[in-house]
Structure 1
């Protein structure tokens, strides 16, 4: 039987965890194709994954860039995104496939992602009132978006809405994609039985300077591409105003995203990318309407 899904695992310096991920994929109940994208690892990862179908990139393009690099190679109806530090249950892929087959209006299915201590990290992504994507640990069947660490998407729909935003490098590629799916009239569902155990932060360090740089920059770029323009511009203005006022404040939180230098760099990167983002915005299919999606999901 031909597989329904291609699972894409993007790795970078994954020597300490990628084999557990790939072993778990080998134990899946549902037949599938696995493509491992190696972001120019230099720690011995290449030797560990040599027995698999590997696409080795000449430089580190990040998670988003790695996914985008192989999307054209996917020939199955579904494509799964899976972090290299995630270990799925044997029925994980079968549960996601079953959910999408049973719900033609859904274009993506997100997993129940648990941390190594057994607590829940995510069963989907919510859209906050200020446009951030936020993991939720309790949700109904439908959610705004999916967590890109372990999700299944309809390949044809993903391509039709513009694929993966490779320039994001890391973070918000999933919420940006969920925005575009919803703007095109599709839904995202949460599949509780599709369980994954995740070593959160094994590849990147949440809270680090790079984490906050990518997180803040990509949120603003996502809003400029997808959200109602007044929302996007107001959030960009708010970010700039907070940055300008930080030197005048007392008791500034000791966190990377409150450092003026980082925030100025984020603003500079957003401004440089503004023409391309607005051009991309004009090309996004908006069957559902930006205001309608924002009203329905922001702050829920």
Structure 2
């Protein structure tokens, strides 16, 4: 039986966890191709993955950059995104493939991602009232977006909506892609039986300065690319006003995303990317109006 899917595993310094991921892929019930993208690891990861199909990048391009680097190499109908610290059940890929085969209007299927203690991390992504992407732990069949840590996408649909936003580095590349799929008229579904165990934060440190920098910057860039203009400009203005008022406020939350220096850096990076981002906005296919997607999904 020929493979329907290519699983892309992006790694960076994954020595302590990538073997479990690749061992789990080796016993999947569905035949598939696996590509490991090594973001110039320098910790011995290269030796552990040497027996697999590896694309080694000359520098760390992040999760989004790694996915984007190999999209042109995919020759299967489906492409799976899988974190290197995720361990899928043997039927994981089969469940995702069967779900997309049964629902041709869906362009992406998201997994049940469980933490190592058995609790649920994500069964999909919701769009909040202020434009954040938020993991949800209880959902129906359809969700706004997929969690990029373990998902299956139609390769042609992904290419048609512009691929992966490589410049995001990491975080929000999945929610941005879900936005563009929905604007093109596609659906995203949640597949409960497609389970993976995830060592959350093994590759990046949630709560760190870099984590908040990427999250805040990429949320704003995503909205500027995909959301209704009024929503995008309101959220950018809100971020700017909160940043400007921080020196005059008392009881500022003790979190990295409320530090003046980080927020100023985020604003600088967004403004630097603004011309290219607005051009990208013009090129995004919009079979469904931005306003309708927002009204259907924001704050649900």
TM category (shorter chain) comes to over 0.9
SS of equivalent residue, structure 2 residue 273: helix
Alignment of structure 1 residues 52-63 onto 2, 5 Å: 52-63=52-63
2:108 aligned partner: 108
Q: Which runs of 5+ in 1 are unaligned?
A: none
Confirm or deny that 1:120 pairs with 2:144.
Answer: no
| CA displacement at 1:268 relative to structure 2 | 0.3
CA distance in 2, matches of 1:263, 1:115: 30
Question: Which segment drifts farther, 244-253 or 57-66?
Answer: 244-253
Alignment of structure 1 residues 185-224 onto 2, 5 Å: 185-224=185-224
Instruction: Extract structure 1 runs of 4+ deviating beyond 2 A.
Output: none
SS of equivalent residue, structure 2 residue 80: strand
1:274 aligned partner: 274
1:74 aligned partner: 74
SS of equivalent residue, structure 2 residue 151: strand
| CA displacement at 1:251 relative to structure 2 | 1.0
Q: Which runs of 5+ in 2 are unaligned?
A: none
2:132 aligned partner: 132
CA distance in 2, matches of 1:42, 1:204: 16
How many residue pairs get aligned? The number is 300
SS of equivalent residue, structure 1 residue 216: helix
CA distance in 2, matches of 1:191, 1:99: 7
Q: What does the per-residue CA deviation read over 1:213-263, in whole Å, with 9 as the maximum and x for residues that have no partner?
A: 000000000000000011000000000000000111111111000000000
Confirm or deny that 1:17 pairs with 2:17.
Answer: yes
User: Aligned Cα RMSD in Å?
Assistant: 0.3
CA distance in 2, matches of 1:105, 1:275: 33
Q: Structure 2 length normalisation: TM-score?
A: 1.00
CA distance in 2, matches of 1:106, 1:40: 34
CA distance in 2, matches of 1:18, 1:284: 35
SS of equivalent residue, structure 1 residue 55: strand
CA distance in 1, matches of 2:289, 2:133: 19
| CA displacement at 1:69 relative to structure 2 | 0.1
SS of equivalent residue, structure 2 residue 117: coil
1:171 aligned partner: 171
Confirm or deny that 1:6 pairs with 2:32.
Answer: no
CA distance in 1, matches of 2:292, 2:278: 20
Confirm or deny that 1:65 pairs with 2:89.
Answer: no
CA distance in 2, matches of 1:270, 1:286: 23
CA distance in 2, matches of 1:272, 1:289: 27
2:93 aligned partner: 93
Q: What does the per-residue CA deviation read over 1:13-49, in whole Å, with 9 as the maximum and x for residues that have no partner?
A: 0000000000000010000000000000000000000
SS of equivalent residue, structure 1 residue 188: strand
CA distance in 2, matches of 1:144, 1:179: 8
CA distance in 2, matches of 1:203, 1:136: 21
CA distance in 2, matches of 1:268, 1:230: 21
| CA displacement at 1:91 relative to structure 2 | 0.1
Alignment of structure 1 residues 143-292 onto 2, 5 Å: 143-292=143-292
CA distance in 2, matches of 1:233, 1:252: 24
SS of equivalent residue, structure 1 residue 243: helix
CA distance in 2, matches of 1:105, 1:122: 22
CA distance in 2, matches of 1:68, 1:54: 15
